[in-house]
Amino acid sequence: MTTIRAEKKCVPGYDHENLLDIKLEKVQGNFSVETAFISGGAGVTALFGHSGAGKTSIINMIAGLSHPDSGHIVVNNHCVFDAEKGINIPPEKRRFGYVFQDGRLFPHMSVHANLLYGMKRVKPCYRYIKFDQVVELLGINHLLQRHPATLSGGEKQRVAIGRSLLTSPVLMLMDEPLASLDAARKNEVLPFISRLAGEFSVPILYVTHSIDEILNLADTVVFLSEGKSLAVGGVEEVTSRKDFQSLACCSFLTE
Amino acid sequence: MTTIRAEKKCVPGYDHENLLDIKLEKVQGNFSVETAFISGGAGVTALFGHSGAGKTSIINMIAGLSHPDSGHIVVNNHCVFDAEKGINIPPEKRRFGYVFQDGRLFPHMSVHANLLYGMKRVKPCYRYIKFDQVVELLGINHLLQRHPATLSGGEKQRVAIGRSLLTSPVLMLMDEPLASLDAARKNEVLPFISRLAGEFSVPILYVTHSIDEILNLADTVVFLSEGKSLAVGGVEEVTSRKDFQSLACCSFLTE
Amino acid sequence: AYADDGQSNKVRIFSAGSTINAVTDICNLFIEKKMGEITPSFAASSTLAKQIDQGAPADIYLSANPKWMDFLEKNNMLEPGTRFDLLGNRIVLIAPLNSTMTITIDKGFDLAGVLGDEKLAMGDPDHVPAGIYGKQALESLGVWDSVTLKVARSKDVRAALALVERAEAPLGIVYSTDAAISKKVKVVGVFPEESHPPIIYPVALVAGNATPSARSFMEFLKGEDAKAIFEKYGFNVR
Amino acid sequence: MDFSGLTPLELEALRLSLWISCWAVAGSLGPGILVAWILARKNFPGKTIVDGLVHLPLVLPPVVTGYMLLLIMGRRGMVGSWLYELTGFTFAFNWKGAALASAVMAFPLLVRAVRLSIEGVDQGLEQAARTLGAGPVDLFFTVTLPLVFPGILTGVILAFARSLSEFGATITFVSNIPGETRTLPIALYSLTQMPGGEAGAMRLCIISVVVALIAITSSEILAKRMERKIKGER
Amino acid sequence: MDFSGLTPLELEALRLSLWISCWAVAGSLGPGILVAWILARKNFPGKTIVDGLVHLPLVLPPVVTGYMLLLIMGRRGMVGSWLYELTGFTFAFNWKGAALASAVMAFPLLVRAVRLSIEGVDQGLEQAARTLGAGPVDLFFTVTLPLVFPGILTGVILAFARSLSEFGATITFVSNIPGETRTLPIALYSLTQMPGGEAGAMRLCIISVVVALIAITSSEILAKRMERKIKGER
Ligand SMILES: Nc1ncnc2c1ncn2[C@@H]1O[C@H](COP(=O)(O)OP(=O)(O)OP(=O)(O)O)[C@@H](O)[C@H]1O
Ligand SMILES: Nc1ncnc2c1ncn2[C@@H]1O[C@H](COP(=O)(O)OP(=O)(O)OP(=O)(O)O)[C@@H](O)[C@H]1O
Ligand SMILES: [Mg+2]
Ligand SMILES: [Mg+2]
């Protein structure tokens, strides 16, 4: 396993209480998001909900790619959005890493250039994640000179993870980042994500449909349905709910 | 659960021995595929291998979207490709359903039109899958009038599954079709796929990274690495291999 | 690479498109005789007049049409007392070389009948000088009204000539200078001189540019050498 | 537009211009899309020559193109004479010739725009259509063509605008015949060549601009509507 | 091309044409891309007017555009006189004016092609760039622009070809001055005005076509190379 060297003397303007304080309202077509959750302390917050529950919509708002009609987004006590106070920091200033559900690699750049794109835009003193380390972790060394068009699904996903990690973000947003990776690779990446949250106090918002990943990774679970948060709390608390189990359980697989 | 009504008096030119006889060789850049497997009898053949092992490449060749340098593809004793004999049936004549790893819904059509696209191109007498049945199974009734651009990841995936099912195919190619679905939905779709193979004798080639899905769904497993098939055989036979376990096992998740 | 040398003592003559052969030859002769430097520019008389009006670096203007000269004169763009009617021309009726048509131009001649369904090619009588003269001639001969709908109005005389050369039109009206040089058409009739106002090509110095070299070229244009060249191309030197 | 203020001459030129431009665009749309598709997707010996031929009317001065049309499609032209003898149809000195000249001049613009769009189509979608049972032609009409709609719209607008202003090739090929080929630009040209014609020329200018603005604006609205449909309600 | 067979007059016209076309394209590329981006992405009151203005040179006969340039940018023109007094720079009757006329005539083609491409860019990629720390300008140069390369190339080729054939606006604005503004099409015009000039005119036609073919072919090769790079080695 690779090691993470700490170098975060000067992470900007945030005081590290690792508080996520999120309250969002937005109407999209005839779907409306209306959610609020606070997750204190370091760690991974899992967003869980059926397909179309609004997970990606929420993450997009937090990243600053779409604007809530009302509410606020506070990360590490730093407010990046507040509808009432008229605060709206543009996405490029938020320094949130975002692993998109649909990859979004730059087709005109090599894998190497894709990986460096975000990294080059972060001041060296803010960087706490090293290039070689990420490349090794994700096993993409042999792909560096290639262009995204010929990569396999899982290869693209790994490059996308690497690209956002290399921005040394102050919050990670991960939308089903491991969906098309094999178990062996997952087993290398998951502990890394875990340690990102633990050692570097980078809060992580993690979308997944895998109950295993929730049980092993999450500190807090936000359980969404139809755009509303039905439950927010510790893993045991939420996973013991009936409605959660009926969505997450594996009746066919374990019959 | 919905029921499948049988109506397959006139499936064309194939005799239903459900034999998949595949032998493929192809060089792509500095990656080469070289695989051969036969899976007799009805059922689900799982393609398993690390990210970048060549699963999608193989499925593309079987679908007729890329051409092997040599080899042959025989489905139900019907040869759709043979390099030596110069046989190469174009994809639209193969009647294989393909659920792509990356969705590929038609952005200019409503969900409804997407679903009907393939169905309309199959003679009514060949259709053995009903529209309403699929829509209900996949829970996409409320999406029919929408366009793909605003669908969520899982919603897109469900529409893509529906679209290919509705062609009433003679072989299903499914490239990680359930990756971003929640467990509850998976539990409805998986038995359906299972029954497709069982009741209608439609062979299914199924790519997955989930050991659970293999254990519960597959009859035959093809274990790929670096473009070569390391092992082909029954589920128990292949899953008991050391190299298979090291790739598929969940050391972190079960630690 | 291409400096604006409008200030040098090179003489610039803006000359009507239909004079291109003759004026080019005269300029070359002028240069050959080491009498000075001269650059000719050719375009439609109207285009040139407007450009001069907008301050184009022209020293001499040779127009195919007194109207545009009048236009400049009215705008005080001409050097007073330098306007001079340099050339005259004739308009003629032409047909393709292999045409069997015979026709005599006189009062009320049956032009429409000869044309049948086909077209008479001529410069646009609204603005092309040769067309204007042609229309006036046909009017005074009393046949214009019967052929108005059969006129293919061209952008310039050369285009009308091309239509007849290609036999797309069986008849056309052009200057005798054009007809003289084309090998693919023949003259079937010359319009009587009294059927239209005299065809005059006036020349003048542009106001403020009456440099000695410009004046000397002006004189050269009026001289015997130029006259020979003009006549070679079919112009009447007045 | 308030047509009541127009003189009969202006009205006639306007009507002719619209008629000819519409025919020019309508006539070249099909071949234009076909040629664009071939240039975008196929490789064959002599492709450069086809490509060059398509661009020819853009590269040569319009008068030259008009003259070539005269040589080829005139009543005594290589193809034109043959066409006339066989069918009695001719382009010479009528509005059809003007439409042909406009179409030829606008063709490269149409082809280039459509081609650019076709090159941008995600071929993954075409592959998907094939696995769903659509053959190459079927797929072209149901997938490629709708996806290329913005390119077609751009091509049509460019071609229409170009046709509206077509002058050099038209006047050389079919002359200026009132009521047949005297379109807006030809009438406009006549006026600019007449001393004192400025006021009339100005009016024709304004008419052309208004027509073009209407065409451009409606194309924008159409494009917006299509885009909204494809990209979702908001 | 074998230059040795060309007469000095042809060589001069060719050199001038290339020089002027290159300047026209180079000068309009930046503004063209900017305007295309604004039209593709921004909504503002008066957008229709900007859009219409851009198309104007395409809609009006070139002679009219040339005359307007004369009135505006000529040495006595509204802007031209002011420019001349302030800086001593003038477009009047020199090659710079010819380049300006070419640029203005080609502008709508450039803008439309680039705009079409910009509208096709996946905005998801731009969003990704923003989450990676790129501001709007940074993103434009590092993501949008490279993705729009095919559109820019098409625009450049259209503009270059259009410049090569530019006649009406040029001769009206800057006249026909040997060595300054007598480009290939204007030299061609001079020859067609001369009885017996056909052979010379033909030669100039062929020269234009050859130049255009070279430009088109190299753009195709460039496009292929870029595409291969983006879509993988094979
Ligand atoms: N044109 C090409 N040049 C070089 N390598 C290529 C090319 N096309 C595909 N490859 C490589 O072939 C390998 C197989 O790709 P494929 O998409 O089949 O993998 P996969 O098994 O589907 O993986 P995943 O599970 O990640 O989707 C990958 O490593 C990919 O990078
Ligand atoms: N413009 C829109 N108009 C109508 N509905 C919309 C619009 N945009 C999104 N939606 C709907 O909002 C819902 C939430 O979408 P979102 O992408 O956030 O789901 P998700 O939780 O990420 O689902 P998945 O797990 O399938 O990715 C979906 O049902 C989607 O169809
Ligand atoms: Mg989602
Ligand atoms: Mg794959």
CA pair distance D56, A244, nearest whole angstrom: 68
CA pair distance A105, B9, nearest whole angstrom: 47
Ligand 2 pocket at CB < 6 A: A 28-31, 49, 51-57, 101; B 150-155, 180; D 232-234
Q: What is the ipTM of this complex?
A: 0.90
Helix (H) and strand (E) counts for chain B? 9, 11
Separation in Å, CA of B32 to nearest CA in chain E = 13
Question: pLDDT band at B194, cuts 50/70/90?
Answer: confident
Q: What percentage of chain C reaches a pLDDT higher than 90?
A: 52
CATH of the domain at E86: 1.10.3720.10
Ligand 3 centre distance from Cα of residue B125 (Å):
38
Residue D75: give the domain boundaries: 34-227
Paired tokens of E195: 């009885």
D29 part of a folded domain: no
E155 part of a folded domain: yes
E46 part of a folded domain: yes
pLDDT tens digits, one per residue of B24-40: 999 988 899 999 988 87
D62 near E CB under 8 A = yes
According to DSSP, the residues that pair with A70 across neighbouring strands are A25
Q: Give the DSSP letter string of A91-139.
A: HHHH-EEEE-TT----TTS-HHHHHHHHHTTS-GGG--S-HHHHHHHHT
Ligand 3 centre distance from Cα of residue A228 (Å):
15
- In order of their start, the domains of chain A are 4-104+171-254 (3.40.50.300)
**E172 to chain C: which residues are within 8 Å by CB?**
47, 50-51
B168 contacts B128 by C-beta, under 8 angstroms: yes
**A29 to chain D: which residues are within 8 Å by CB?**
232-234
Paired tokens of D38: 């071939």
Reported residue count of chain E is 234
Using the atom order of ligand 2, give the atom closest to the CA of residue A54. 18
Using the atom order of ligand 1, give the atom closest to the CA of residue B58. 18
CA pair distance C117, C171, nearest whole angstrom: 12
D190 near C CB under 8 A = yes
E78 contacts E72 by C-beta, under 8 angstroms: yes
Model pTM above 0.80: yes
Question: pLDDT band at B249, cuts 50/70/90?
Answer: low
Residue A250 in this model has a pLDDT that exceeds 60: no
CA pair distance B227, B221, nearest whole angstrom: 15
Using the atom order of ligand 1, give the atom closest to the CA of residue A156. 26
Burial group, residue C69, by CB count within 10 angstroms (0-12, 13-18, 19+): buried
The pLDDT value recorded for residue C8 is 53
- Which range is least confidently modeled, A244-248, D54-58, E32-36, E186-190? A244-248
Q: What percentage of chain A reaches a pLDDT higher than 70?
A: 89
Question: Which site among A189, A253, A254 would you substitute to test the B interface, given the most B Cβ atoms closer than 10 Å to its Cβ?
Answer: A253
Paired tokens of E205: 């036609």
How many Cα neighbours within 13 Å face the side chain of C67? Answer: 19
With an 8 Å Cβ cutoff, are C18 and E75 in contact?
no
Separation in Å, CA of A30 to nearest CA in chain D = 10
Ligand 4 centre distance from Cα of residue B224 (Å):
12
- Please give the residue that has the higher pLDDT: either E232 or E35: E35
D3 part of a folded domain: no
Residue C3 in this model has a pLDDT that exceeds 80: no
Task: Of A4, A24, A31, give the one whose Cα is nearest residue A200.
Answer: A4
Residue E131 in this model has a pLDDT that exceeds 90: yes
User: If you average pLDDT over every residue of chain D, what do you get?
Assistant: 91
pLDDT tens digits, one per residue of B103-133: 899 999 999 999 999 999 999 999 999 999 9
A positions 117-176 inside 8 Å of B (CB):
150-155, 157-158, 175-176
Question: Which site among E14, E47, E48, E64 would you substitute to test the D interface, given the most D Cβ atoms closer than 10 Å to its Cβ?
Answer: E64
- The pick from B26, B28, B176, B228 for probing ligand 1's pocket by mutation, whose C-beta has the most ligand atoms within 8 angstroms, reads B28
Structure letter (DSSP) for residue E144: I
D231 near A CB under 8 A = no
Mean pLDDT highest for which of C112-121, E145-154, E188-197?
E145-154
With an 8 Å Cβ cutoff, are B209 and A50 in contact?
no
Ligand 2 centre distance from Cα of residue C6 (Å):
69
pLDDT tens digits, one per residue of C88-103: 999 999 999 988 888 8
What value does the mean pLDDT take over residues A157-168? Answer: 94
Residues 6+ apart with CB under 8 A from E211: D59, E1, E14, E17, E18, E164, E184
pLDDT tens digits, one per residue of D72-113: 998 888 999 999 999 989 898 899 999 999 999 999 999 999
Query: How many domains are there within chain D?
Result: 1
Q: What percentage of chain D reaches a pLDDT higher than 70?
A: 97
Question: Which site among C13, C21, C54, C183 would you substitute to test the E interface, given the most E Cβ atoms closer than 10 Å to its Cβ?
Answer: C54
Residues 6+ apart with CB under 8 A from E107: E28, E31, E32, E54, E57, E159
Task: Of E232, B102, B52, give the one whose Cα is nearest residue A142.
Answer: B52
Residue D5 in this model has a pLDDT that exceeds 60: yes
D86 part of a folded domain: yes
A179 near B CB under 8 A = yes
User: Containing H/E element for D64?
Assistant: helix D62-73
Q: Give the DSSP letter string of A168-206.
A: --SEEEEESTTTTS-HHHHHHHHHHHHHHHHHS---EEE
Question: pLDDT band at B42, cuts 50/70/90?
Answer: low
Residue E148 in this model has a pLDDT that exceeds 90: yes
CA pair distance C51, C57, nearest whole angstrom: 9
E positions 141-180 inside 8 Å of A (CB):
142-143, 146-147, 149
pLDDT tens digits, one per residue of A96-122: 999 998 889 999 999 999 999 999 999
CA pair distance A184, B97, nearest whole angstrom: 30
Ligand 2 centre distance from Cα of residue A158 (Å):
24
pLDDT tens digits, one per residue of D136-170: 999 999 999 999 999 999 999 999 999 999 999 99
Task: Of E111, E219, E218, E116, give the one whose Cα is nearest residue D115.
Answer: E116
With an 8 Å Cβ cutoff, are D128 and B98 in contact?
yes
User: Containing H/E element for C181?
Assistant: helix C176-181
Q: Whose CA is nearest to atom 25 of ligand 2?
A: A51
**What is the chain B residue with the closest CA to D230?**
B108
- Which range is least confidently modeled, A33-42, C67-76, C116-125, C168-177? A33-42
**What is the chain C residue with the closest CA to E74?**
C54
Q: Which residue has the tokens 């040629």?
A: D35
CA pair distance C231, B204, nearest whole angstrom: 94
D114 part of a folded domain: yes
Residue B18 in this model has a pLDDT that exceeds 90: no
- Please give the residue that has the higher pLDDT: either B239 or C164: C164
The pLDDT value recorded for residue B155 is 93
The strand order across the sheet containing C236-237 reads C38-43, C11-16, C60-62, C199-205, C84-89, C236-237
Q: Helix, strand, coil: what percent of chain B each, to 5? A: 35, 25, 40
Ligand 4 centre distance from Cα of residue B102 (Å):
9
